[in-house]
């Protein structure tokens, strides 16, 4: 993203010719953490509207070349917020502490998210941090980087890219007999100042999920979804935001995990890919959620495949505390 690498025309740096976009219309979309899900939704609109038959959507990031924390600070209010803001992790740490204080969620419960996701990542050849033998103790004894967030409660900085082909119904037949169909999409915004939202109850996730569930005919997400790829920049976020998405009542995200519902073998596995806690090339991160949801629907997940996936949810979360959601399915929405 231009903002993080500190360069202009980042699409040129990523190699339009190799994309291959040479002499073809190119649109750049950058919305912070949600970049990947904005790309996914724009890709869907471009094809579903009938403007294009076939398009390639690419998300990428080379965090080694820039400073994400510095870039993120510049996105916030220069007078009231920038002086004390410490990028994304500061507010995510505030959120984790408030969530813990309100509902009694423990660091052990948060550590279990990292253990789940990074051991899932060991089944994903594309994941950055693959830790098949990770333990709760290992997470809980890692360095405190912003209380209550320890090093392993937090996503890494990754380099990477992700690409998805969108095609209309006719073109799809030429590409595959086993596509993933987009059933519904939603974007929700909320705040003026970052402090309008305490983040653990992420109102935009609740707003967006109500919209996508309604459009896709989902009444009970635990029952009607088969897998979810959610955007969890920290272990605590996964617990809190599974609540915001309606998987559990407020304060019950820890219980949801403790009961094994979000584990690989559970009723609604969350992040079989290893999630953001394992891989975080920011401009690609939310597109990876969509790609992984599509991989699950298409049955191409190999060691990370959940059996018989009909319907999958993908989530993007971004700096202005907005949420974007997509529901993909084996069956077309009629």
Partner 1 sequence: MSRKKGQEKIFEIKWKTDLPYRYSIGKLAVKFFEELKKNKKIYGSKCPKCGKVNFPPRAVCADCFVEMTLSDMVELPPKGTLEGFTVVNYPFVDPQTGGMRPFPYGYALLKLDGADTYTMHFVNETDYTKLKVGQRVEAVFKEEREGNMGDIPYFKVIKEEE
Residue 2, interface with partner 1 (CB under 8 A)? Answer: no
Question: According to CB under 8 A, which residues from 129 to 158 bind partner 1?
Answer: 144-149
Query: Of residues 80, 141, 176, 332, which one binds partner 1 by CB under 8 A?
Result: 80
Q: Give Cα 18 distance to the centre of its chain.
A: 26
Query: Of residues 49, 50, 79, 174, which one binds partner 1 by CB under 8 A?
Result: 79
Q: Which stretch binds partner 1 (CB under 8 A): 28-36, 40-48, 185-193, 241-249?
A: 185-193
Distances (CA, A) of 123 to 83, 119, 131, 132, 300: 41, 7, 10, 8, 13
Structure tokens at 3: 């903002």
**Residue 266 CB neighbour total at 10 angstroms:** 16
Q: Which is nearer to partner 1, 9 or 147 (CB)?
A: 147
Task: Using DSSP, state whether 55 is helix, strand or coil.
Answer: strand
Q: Which stretch binds partner 1 (CB under 8 A): 134-142, 177-185, 195-203, 215-223?
A: 195-203
Structure tokens at 262: 């979000």
Q: Which stretch binds partner 1 (CB under 8 A): 68-76, 174-182, 253-261, 321-329?
A: 68-76
Q: What is the largest CA-CA distance in the chain?
A: 56
Residue 73, interface with partner 1 (CB under 8 A)? Answer: yes
Residue 22, interface with partner 1 (CB under 8 A)? Answer: no
Q: How far is the CB of 86 from partner 1 (least distance, A)?
A: 4
Query: Of residues 20, 26, 51, 74, which one binds partner 1 by CB under 8 A?
Result: 74
Question: According to CB under 8 A, which residues from 86 to 115 bind partner 1?
Answer: 86-87, 89-91, 93-95, 97-98, 101
Q: Determine the angle formed by the axes of helices 107-121 and 235-244, rounding to 10 degrees.
A: 100
Q: Which is nearer to partner 1, 81 or 310 (CB)?
A: 81
Q: Which is nearer to partner 1, 98 or 264 (CB)?
A: 98
Which residues, in sequence order, are CB contacts of 253 under 8 Å at separation 6+? 105, 238, 239, 240, 241, 242, 243, 247
Query: Of residues 69, 168, 305, 320, which one binds partner 1 by CB under 8 A?
Result: 69
Q: ∠27-33-36 over CA atoms, to 5°?
A: 45
Q: How many CA atoms lie within 13 A of 303 on its CB side?
A: 11
- Is the Cα torsion angle 14, 20, 23, 29 positive or negative in sign? negative
Beta bridge partners of 57: 164
Query: Of residues 29, 39, 41, 85, which one binds partner 1 by CB under 8 A?
Result: 85
Query: Of residues 9, 12, 51, 65, which one binds partner 1 by CB under 8 A?
Result: 65
For partner 1, the binding residues (CB under 8 A) are 64-65, 67, 69-71, 73-74, 78-87, 89-91, 93-95, 97-98, 101, 144-149, 191-196, 198
């Amino acid at each position: 993203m231009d903002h993080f690498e500190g360069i202009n025309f980042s699409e040129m740096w990523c190699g339009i010719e190799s994309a291959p976009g040479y002499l073809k219309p190119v649109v750049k979309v950058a919305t912070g953490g949600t970049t990947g899900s904005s790309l996914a939704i724009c890709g869907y609109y471009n094809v579903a509207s009938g403007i294009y038959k076939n398009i390639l959507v690419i998300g990428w990031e080379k965090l080694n070349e820039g400073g994400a924390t510095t870039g993120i600070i510049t996105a916030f209010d220069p007078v009231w917020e920038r002086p004390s803001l410490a990028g994304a992790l500061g507010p995510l740490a505030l959120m984790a502490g408030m969530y813990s204080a309100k509902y009694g969620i423990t660091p052990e419960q948060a550590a279990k998210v990292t253990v789940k996701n990074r051991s899932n990542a060991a089944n994903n050849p594309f994941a950055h941090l693959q830790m098949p033998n990770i333990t709760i103790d290992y997470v809980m004894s890692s360095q405190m980087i912003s209380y209550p967030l320890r090093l392993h409660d937090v996503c890494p900085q990754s380099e990477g890219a992700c690409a998805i082909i969108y095609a209309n119904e006719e073109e799809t037949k030429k590409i595959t007999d086993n596509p993933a169909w987009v059933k519904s999409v939603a974007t929700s915004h909320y705040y003026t100042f970052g402090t309008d939202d305490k983040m653990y109850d992420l109102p935009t996730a609740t707003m967006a999920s109500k919209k996508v569930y309604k459009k896709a005919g989902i009444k009970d997400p635990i029952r009607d979804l088969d897998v979810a790829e959610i955007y969890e920049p920290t272990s605590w976020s996964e617990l809190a935001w599974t609540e915001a998405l309606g998987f559990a009542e407020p304060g019950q995200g820890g219980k949801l995990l403790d009961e094994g519902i979000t584990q690989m073998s559970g009723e609604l596995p969350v992040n079989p890919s290893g999630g953001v806690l394992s891989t975080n090339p920011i401009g690609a991160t939310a597109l990876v959620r969509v790609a992984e949801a599509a991989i699950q629907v298409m049955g191409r997940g190999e060691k990370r495949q959940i059996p018989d996936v009909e319907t999958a949810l993908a989530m993007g979360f971004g700096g202005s505390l907005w949420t974007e959601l997509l529901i993909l399915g084996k069956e077309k929405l009629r």
